[in-house]
Chains A and B, each alone.
Chain A
Amino acid sequence: MAEIGALHHLITRRRLLGAAGMGALALTNPSWAETTIDLALPGGPGVRPITTGFPQKGPMILQRTRPPLLETPFEVFDKGVFTPNDQFYVRWHWAVIPTDIDIGKFSLTVRGHVNQTLSLSLNDILHGLPSVQLAAVNQCSGNSRGFFQPRVPGGEWANGAMGNALWTGVRLKDVLDKAGVKSGAVQVRFKGLEEPVVADAPHFMKSLDIDHARDGEVMIAYAMNGEQLPLVNGFPLRLVVPGWYATYWVKMLSDIEVLNEVDTNYWTKVAYTIPDTPHASIKPGETNVKMVPINRMVPRSFVTNIASGHKVNAATPTTLRGIAFGGDCGVAGVDYSIDRGQNWRQAQLEKDEGKYGFRRWQTQFTLPSPGKYTVLTRCTNSNGVAQPDTPNWNPAGFMRNVVESVDIVAA
């Protein structure tokens, strides 16, 4: 039986050298990259280094060095419902990131359309406000972009630009109340410590509507999975916006500005926008489409214990296991199919750690006779939204959530 832990086309350096030529690899891998992985991206090339060269991080798929784009190796998701901090994916927009944070000097400013400008120390935040905890998935808007066909530009992620953590922090609402939001406030804008590499480039900033910012769920986290955040995951403070894509989860949060007008900064108005269409999908080349800021996540599910290409024994029960999340709400159910979607069966859901987190699921299935099979998984969330049968497409490669498939062979 091929129930395995190491997944997704991990190949050794030796095999890659045989396939690609030693000279090419020696030139393209940084010296601190140790092995490689083939992400099997349809547009190729899919080979990436695995690196342990980033402090506070374990083995990660190196998508880019500066600013860091580090992808979680997929087999990590089979190990537990929470993604370990040292293998939680990393995504920055600008290359200038502080690498020396003194907690005694760090402060969070709250300003703008408020009664009182605040400069909060970490001590003020950790010990002066009620602490809250929440399990939530943090997923890059472009997670799985590398599977878009036709291919689109951007970080060519496989499925590992996501993670689930237990976040500890304070409610954004409590911080805003401490400053006193004035009547007429429209949005709240968040900025972190990363800096553009050139003077005229726009600082990375994201905004939420004032009611969303004050809903009591949006939080400022100082811990993930019971520990302080790794620096490259946003230490010391990170905005947590449950159910929304990670672009809003501003890292190294240092500035909160209450606005009395709609934010028009580049990162809200231009970047991170999606077609205002079902599934944020258009036809390649389609123009004159209304675009809106990306927002709520959509449901997804994955098999985590069996990878495409693996063999199982026919006429023998096989364990199928995975993770799902509902997006902006909980998971109502996960179904699987062993006959390319003609028939669907329910998998068993495991413990609910919170509606915004991963939900583990498992089942047993038996392939009746030797041959090739495709296993499909489909999550339906508690709002009744299910993963679509066909992939969406948009020019930024956002919000992929098609039903996932795993090709296996019964012998």
Chain B
Amino acid sequence: MFRNFLPAIVLLGVASMPFVASAATPFELKSVKIDLPDSDKMFPDGPGSLS
């Protein structure tokens, strides 16, 4: 019985599958502008400092 319906089930499955390849959105980049934090602290304090 199940065999009789198998082709229809397969067809239904294929028809409902997303078109992964064609539907995939091409990767796009966006321009970036940021401000980096500033500090006069260039390096961690050396041995012997309190911190």
CA distance A97 to B28 in the complex (A): 23
Interface positions of B from 4 to 45, Cβ below 8 Å from A: 26-39, 41-45
Contact A55 B47, CB 8 Å, known A30-B39, A66-B39, A126-B27: no
CA distance A232 to B34 in the complex (A): 10
CA distance A30 to B29 in the complex (A): 32
Q: Is the CB of A28 within 8 A of B34?
A: no
Q: Is the CB of B34 within 8 A of A99?
A: yes
Tell me how many residues of B have a C-beta within 8 Å of chain A: 24
Q: Is the CB of A103 within 8 A of B43?
A: no
Measured CB to CB, the closest approach of chain B to A385, in angstroms, equals 33
Chain B residues touching A, majority SS: loop
Q: Which residues of B contact A30 (CB under 8 A)?
A: 37, 39, 41
Q: Is the CB of B27 within 8 A of A48?
A: no
Measured CB to CB, the closest approach of chain A to B36, in angstroms, equals 6
User: Is B50's beta carbon under 8 Å from chain A?
Assistant: yes
CA distance A171 to B47 in the complex (A): 45
Q: Is the CB of B29 within 8 A of A222?
A: yes
CA distance A402 to B14 in the complex (A): 53
Q: Which residues of B contact A32 (CB under 8 A)?
A: 37
Interface 1/0 per residue, A124-136 and B, CB below 8 Å: 0011000100000
Partner among B29, B36, B51 whose Cβ is within 8 Å of the Cβ of A99: B36
Interface positions of A from 7 to 64, Cβ below 8 Å from B: 16, 20-21, 24-25, 28-30, 32, 43-45, 47-48, 51, 53-56, 63-64
Interface positions of A from 53 to 112, Cβ below 8 Å from B: 53-56, 63-66, 68, 97, 99-104
CA distance A54 to B35 in the complex (A): 8
Measured CB to CB, the closest approach of chain B to A142, in angstroms, equals 14
User: Is A168's beta carbon under 8 Å from chain B?
Assistant: yes
Measured CB to CB, the closest approach of chain A to B23, in angstroms, equals 16
Q: Who on chain B is nearest to A222 by CB?
A: B29
Tell me how many residues of A have a C-beta within 8 Å of chain B: 44
Contact A48 B41, CB 8 Å, known A24-B51, A99-B36, A235-B32: no
Q: Who on chain B is nearest to A21 by CB?
A: B50
Q: Which residues of A contact B36 (CB under 8 A)?
A: 54-55, 66, 68, 97, 99, 232
Q: Which residues of A contact B37 (CB under 8 A)?
A: 30, 32, 51, 53-54, 65
CA distance A51 to B36 in the complex (A): 12
Measured CB to CB, the closest approach of chain B to A335, in angstroms, equals 35
Q: Is the CB of A126 within 8 A of B29?
A: yes
CA distance A16 to B29 in the complex (A): 42
Q: Is the CB of A28 within 8 A of B31?
A: no
User: Is A236's beta carbon under 8 Å from chain B?
Assistant: yes
CA distance A30 to B45 in the complex (A): 13
Q: Is the CB of A45 within 8 A of B47?
A: yes
CA distance A64 to B31 in the complex (A): 26
Contact A100 B29, CB 8 Å, known A20-B50, A24-B49, A66-B39: no
Q: Which residues of A contact B29 (CB under 8 A)?
A: 103, 122, 126, 222, 228, 235-236
Q: Is the CB of A100 within 8 A of B44?
A: no
Q: Which residues of B contact A48 (CB under 8 A)?
A: 44
Contact A99 B50, CB 8 Å, known A65-B41, A126-B26: no
Q: Report which A residues bind B (CB closer than 8 A).
A: 16, 20-21, 24-25, 28-30, 32, 43-45, 47-48, 51, 53-56, 63-66, 68, 97, 99-104, 122, 126-127, 131, 156, 168, 222-223, 228, 231-232, 235-236
**In the complex, the 7 A-B pairs of residues with the closest C-beta atoms, listed nearest first:** A24-B50, A55-B34, A53-B37, A30-B39, A65-B39, A100-B33, A103-B29
